[in-house]
Structure formats: C-alpha cells, structure tokens
Structure 1
C-alpha cells in the first residue's frame, strides 16, 4: 500500500511546477505586449508621431487648423497664411538639424501648443521669414534657439514660455537666444517668460520695436538691444542674469519701468548698461542687488530720472559719458554710490543719496549744500580688489573722509534731495528690510528674556 503522503507531495510538487510555468507564461505575454520588437521599442515614439506637414499641405490659405491632442512630427514649412491652434497637450517634436517650424508666408498665426526642439544645432523651434506673424501662448523647450525672426516686420510675440532644454553644463556660447530678431522692424514682444537661454531677447537692427512686460531668468543678457532706434523697453523684469538689459547703439529710445535684480554672478554684471545711447529717456527703473546698478558708457544727451538704485556694489557708473541729465533718482545702500571717469558736463540735480547729510534752511526739501561723489573707494579697489573686504569699516570711512584730492573734478549733485519720494518703488523695497530689523530686534529681546529666566531659575535652584 502506497503512502498517501507521497501522492500528496507529488501533487504539491506538480502544483508548484504549474504555478512557475504560469508565472513564466504571463511574463512572456507582458514582454510580447509591451516590447513587441525588442530594440525597436526605443524608436516606437517616432513611429507614433503624427506627421504635421501633410496636414499643413492639405490646408488652404486662410484656414484655421485645430490640432487634436497628440504628438506631431517636425520639421515643417508653412508657405501660406494659415492659423494653427492647439493646447499644451499638442506637442510638435523635432529631432532634425533644421528649425522645427519655418514660416515663409505673411500673416501666419500659431498659438497654444508645445514645441520640443531637440536639435543641438543653432537652429530654432520657430523661424519666421514672413511679415505680420502672430505667435502666442506657446510652450517651447529647445536645445537651440527659441525663435528666430529674420528680415520681417510687424511680428507679434506674446505670452510664450521658452526654456533651455539642453545640458545644464552648457555654456552661453553653446546656447541660442530665446527670441532673436534681426532686421525685423515694428515688432511687439510682450509677456514672454524666458529661462536659461544665452540672451533672453536679442534685437539687432530692428527699429520701432516694443519689448514689454517680459520676464528673463538665468540668461547671459536678459534683454540685448543693438541699433533699435525709436523703440521702447518697458516694464520687464530680470533676475540672476549676468546683465539685466544691455542697450547699445540706439537713439530716441525709452527704457522705463523695468526691474532688474540680483545681477551679480560675474565681475561685469550690471542691472542696466547703456553703451553708445543718445537722446533717450531712462526713467522709473529699479536696479537692486547688482554688481553695478546702472552703467552709462560713451552716451550723451540722455534724460535719466526717477530711477531706484538700491543695494548695488556700484550704484551709477559713468565712463566717457557727457551731457546727460540725472534728476530725481534715489540711491540707497550702495557700497559705492556713483563713480565717473572722463565724464564731463553731466548735470546732477535733486537726486536722493542716503549717505548724505544735507542742510535745508528754507525747508523746500532740497539741500543748500551740494553733494560731491567721493571716488576714494573706486580708486582704491582699482589698485587692489582685495580692499573690497574692508568697505564701510570704521577705518575705511575715516580715510575716505580725509581724501580730498581733485575735489573740484568730482561728480557733484548741486541740489540733492533731503528725503526719498514716499510713493516710489524704492520706498516699498526699503520697507522690507525695515520689517526684518523689527523681527531681528524682537528676537534679541526674546533671547534676553529667555537668558534671564534660565539664569534666574538656576539661582533659585541653588
């Protein structure tokens, strides 16, 4: 008679083998379903892309193409005045070493969708060669340029988000610009956000253009303008770029309402650089926490007024600049308030200098004593940059007060203001550290009370 336990053990052994086989079979089915072509899986994304060029080719001039959610393949060329619309789930992917979308016709409109431009050549997600293009609300991730506009006019570029998608270690020279215009006039660039590109917005030989309300982050130059006569750069914000705005070779241009903060990562960092700028108005800007707040070089005939120059290493720097008017600017907490090199005949009037102790006999808010900008610090650091470590130390302040060499040549405000404009952006900026000081003082008081209690309780215990 056979042992029943042997049969049971045999059954259990078969059950285990069957279970293992079933698991193996299920695994094979999953592999076949999800990896049907082995290595071809890596390229299946490309096979799943919807060709966009045939959709464009089938359209007629004036058509509006509404793209359904999905991934579309580029590059494409648009040679008729059509409109292409989508939402962020519509993604145009380009792996080729040409621009993802090239616009050759006038009156083309693009809006709403996403572009992934993965070519590491200096090509663009969008290249515009036609006039009166409208590019709005796009999300662009690029390893080249964001947009290139060439020999065009009346382009409207609004509310786009452009981000560098290449290597984090790429240098500025290996990147493209966010929005790049050349010989493209009467353009309107508004409310775009650009991050990590070489220059955020670059305009060259593009006159009568408007650059307004854009946000530029982590670029070389947030806004870089050359030969844009009759243009305006207004209400833009930039942080942690090498330079906030570099304005070069322009006339009759307005730089107004911009805010450039924390441009200090490079020895040449500055909030606003004006180089070879003439007959222009620079007003109501805020430059805060930069290495140089405003650098005016080889520029003349400009009106520079009502700017807030706050907590920069150098507030205003003049180099070979002459016949400019500086009025009603407010300079607060800059290490070096202003400096001038070979810059004659500039007029400084009614500026506020927080380190100046004036005398207002007639109570009109203007000091009867002029304020001469002492060049001691700048001359000292030009000889040895290590002396920056001792700025505002008691000994350095004492030596600065003794320095009077060439005083008649110092840049001088003939009628400095006694107080800040209470309605300015600068005044609001100053309030923040004031509140921080209150918190700091309260912290010290609480620390003192806690220390007293600890000591007192220790005495009682003894």
Structure 2
C-alpha cells in the first residue's frame, strides 16, 4: 500500500477517535448535570381537562409537577418521573379525587422534601415505586385517601440510618386514610402518623428503619397484619386510646439497646392481640399505660418477653411465652391482671384438669436487676450459681409479676406456621435427632 493509502487510514482512525472521546465527554457531562433529560410532564397536565385520564406511555418524564385539578394519571408501561435539583416535591397533589398509579419516581432533593406531596382529600396513590433522598409520601390536612401497593426506599441502600433521612409515609392531621400493602425500607420511620384519626395501617412490610410504624395521637385507628424486621422498634404506639394492634409480626428488632417489638407509651383502652414478637430485645414494652387488653400474643425468643413500667390496670391474658431469657418484669405497676398465660419455663400442677395450673407462677426479677447493674453477668445465664442466687432472692416476692392461673398448654401458633404447639416442634426435632443417630450407627456398623 502506498504512503497516501496509509495516510487516509490514519486520518479516518483519528477522526473516529475524536468523535468517540467527544461523545464520552458529552455523556459524562449529562451524567454530572443536575437536570435530568426527559419529557416535561407539567405541560401534559396543563393541557388536560378536569376529570380527564392521562395515560403516560413508556419513557422518562421530568418534574416537578403540580396537579391542581382532578385527574387520573396512569403509567402505561415503563414510566419514570425524575425530579433533579428542584427543592420541590416531584409531584404535588392539591386537588381532591386525584389518582396516581403505576409510576416510578426518583426524588433527588433531600431534607424535608417529599417525592409526593398530598394536600387534598380522597387521593389514591397506587403501585408507585419511589426512591427518595427526603420523604416518600407526605400527607397534610388530607381526608379519606388510599395509599396502597407502593414501594418506598432510600435512594441508596448503603450507609447508616441517619436522622437526615425522611419517613416513608408521613401523615399529619389526616383522617380516614388507608395505608395498605406497601413496602418501605432504609428510611427513618416507615409509616409516621400524628394527630390523625381513624387510620388503617394494614399488611405493610417494613424493614431497616428506626420505627417501622410510629403512631402519635391517632385515636380509633387500626394497626393490623403488618410485618416488621430489622428495625430499631417494630411499632411505636404513643398517646392513643381505643386503638387496635392485631395480627402483626415484629421480628429481629435487636440491634439497638432500646429495641422493642411493640412499644406502648401512654396507651389507654386499646386492644393488642394476636401479634407475634420474636427475636427482639424486648418483645412488648408498656409504660404509663392503663386499661388495655393484651391477649393471644406469641412472645417468642426475646431477651425480655414483656416489660411493664408505671403501667396499671391492664389485662394480660392467654399469651404464650416461649424461649425468652427474661419472661416478664413489672416496675411500679399495679393491679394488672396477669392471669391465664402459658410460660414454657413453668411446670405447673393441674389437679382439676381444666387446663389451668393450680399453682401460681411468679417471675423472679433477680437476674434482670443484676444484669442491669453489670451486663457481664449475662454470661452466667442459667448457670447453677445464678439459679441458686435467684432462688435465695425472694424477699420482695409480693412485688413480682405473677400469673395466678397459668396455662398448662400454649394456645398461640408458632411463628411462621412452623407448628401449632411447641410440643410438636420438640417432637419433630426429636425425630430428626433419632434419625441422625440411627444413620450414624448404621454407617458405623456398615463400615466396620
């Protein structure tokens, strides 16, 4: 090939390389820009009439947007809305009856800024996927709305649960709201409700949060069938009356010194029943609360099963305690009816064969008091010396938390549907152990 031919090839390669690097620089510039690239959504909303349905085709749209008339906005396919450097909510809903469904929302602004702001009644938010550096969904002075099937999480999963993160769903002065079947993780509080009445919180999944559910002054509300795991506290219920907390499962809240499955503070005339608290530092903690009913709860594998402090006149009945280090403790708590519960550490005597022990069961607070003064004594849990000292320490027996008619058999289901009674679990474990021993024996004889 001639020199001219090589020169042409070199020139072509040089031009291609220049175009490549220019394109790469352009891509980096776009990625570094605070302004996302996509279709502005506000003009589409402005052109629609009141009561219209807007179907957004697959693509990326740009916020922020304000909805000030009744609209139904549906994502038809893979629809995402990006809100970049703006310090406003990605979507602000100010008109009653608005519906928002099937959209992915990325909120880049942090602090107190939400991805979705609602200041209107009877708003429906369904099947939204929200990633936020601030709050997820914020409701203020809103009535009768529905928040369902949404996924809300911190925009990045790494990092500790800092106070700069917002709440997943945050309600204030908003009554009659239904919060159903949402998944919330890696934010501050999963569902925060304050000064709001008749709220329904049902069947939500909450993980890696400070409080999975945080209720303050929410009289007449329902917290039911929720699952909380790996939070500091599963449910914090404070300053309420006539509330139902039922069918929830709060597990593995044990990574903080103040971690609890269910925390009840200043709670009155409420019902807490059929919940499972498993593997928490404290299963159920109750303080300054009175005239509540705690019934049919499964308290399983917690460090402290139930703890009362300045809690008077509560009825604690038909609960099942299994494999807790400290089963129950009560400090400055009077006139609580702690009768008819099952305690796996207690061997009762049922002469009348009515399912209730004729001998009472009193939980000795010696171990708890000792470890509270020096945590190192936890190493001696269930040691012969610790049991001996515990038996000697019975001078204040009248102040112990006592069950005057404990159950001889449990009534609550084991967590996760493993078995109906712990005896079945023991039977299954024994059978597995027997099979293992026979297998080892068989192999040993066979090899010999």
Same fold by TM-score, threshold 0.5 exceeded?
Answer: yes
How far off its partner does 1:412 sit? 1.0
In 1, the alpha carbon distance for the partners of 2:356 and 2:35 equals: 71
Where does residue 460 of structure 1 map in the other structure? none
In 1, the alpha carbon distance for the partners of 2:446 and 2:333 equals: 61
Higher strand share: 2
1:88 to 1:148, Cα distance in 2 relative to 1, 3 A: farther
How far off its partner does 1:331 sit? 0.4
> 136, 140, 155: which one pairs with 1:146?
136
How far off its partner does 1:25 sit? 3.7
How far off its partner does 1:374 sit? 1.0
Where does residue 364 of structure 1 map in the other structure? 354
Indicate yes or no: 2:293 matched with 1:303: yes
Where does residue 231 of structure 1 map in the other structure? 221
In 2, the alpha carbon distance for the partners of 1:39 and 1:277 equals: 55
Indicate yes or no: 2:352 matched with 1:327: no
How far off its partner does 1:38 sit? 7.5
RMSD of aligned Cα (Å): 2.4
1:397 to 1:88, Cα distance in 2 relative to 1, 3 A: farther
Q: Which has the larger radius of gyration?
A: 1
Indicate yes or no: 2:235 matched with 1:240: no
In 2, the alpha carbon distance for the partners of 1:39 and 1:362 equals: 81
Where does residue 80 of structure 2 map in the other structure? 91
Indicate yes or no: 2:220 matched with 1:220: no
Where does residue 38 of structure 2 map in the other structure? 49
> 250, 262, 267: which one pairs with 2:252?
262
Where does residue 62 of structure 1 map in the other structure? 51
Indicate yes or no: 2:181 matched with 1:206: no
How far off its partner does 1:59 sit? 1.1
Structure 1 residue runs without a partner (length 5+) = 1-10, 457-462
How far off its partner does 1:27 sit? 3.3
Indicate yes or no: 2:180 matched with 1:190: yes
Contact 1:125 1:142 in 2 (8 A): yes
Where does residue 76 of structure 1 map in the other structure? 65
- TM-score, structure 1 normalization: 0.90
1:392 to 1:138, Cα distance in 2 relative to 1, 3 A: same
Deviates more, 1:227-236 or 1:416-425: 416-425
State the secondary structure of the residue aligned to 2:111.
coil
1:97 to 1:35, Cα distance in 2 relative to 1, 3 A: same
Deviates more, 1:54-63 or 1:400-409: 400-409
Deviations 1:354-397 (A, max 9, x none): 00010011111111111111111111112211111211223222
State the secondary structure of the residue aligned to 1:380.
helix
Deviations 1:156-183 (A, max 9, x none): 1001000111462254311000000001
How far off its partner does 1:334 sit? 0.2
How far off its partner does 1:262 sit? 0.3
1:410 to 1:41, Cα distance in 2 relative to 1, 3 A: closer
Superposition pairs for residues 399-418 of structure 1, below 5 Å? 399-418=389-408
1:16 to 1:348, Cα distance in 2 relative to 1, 3 A: same
How far off its partner does 1:155 sit? 1.4
Higher helix share: 1
Deviations 1:421-459 (A, max 9, x none): 2756587365668656654665566556666777x5xxx
In 2, the alpha carbon distance for the partners of 1:402 and 1:427 equals: 40
- TM-score, structure 2 normalization: 0.93
Where does residue 294 of structure 1 map in the other structure? 284
In 2, the alpha carbon distance for the partners of 1:399 and 1:298 equals: 31
Where does residue 111 of structure 1 map in the other structure? 101
Where does residue 3 of structure 1 map in the other structure? none
Count of residues in Structure 1 that have an aligned counterpart in Structure 2:
444
State the secondary structure of the residue aligned to 1:157.
strand
> 286, 310, 327: which one pairs with 1:337?
327
In 2, the alpha carbon distance for the partners of 1:176 and 1:47 equals: 23
In 1, the alpha carbon distance for the partners of 2:330 and 2:257 equals: 18
1:337 to 1:326, Cα distance in 2 relative to 1, 3 A: same
Contact 1:302 1:324 in 2 (8 A): yes
Contact 1:35 1:41 in 2 (8 A): no
1:447 to 1:65, Cα distance in 2 relative to 1, 3 A: same
In 2, the alpha carbon distance for the partners of 1:39 and 1:289 equals: 47
Where does residue 391 of structure 1 map in the other structure? 381
> 270, 274, 284: which one pairs with 1:280?
270
Contact 1:420 1:427 in 2 (8 A): no
How far off its partner does 1:29 sit? 4.4
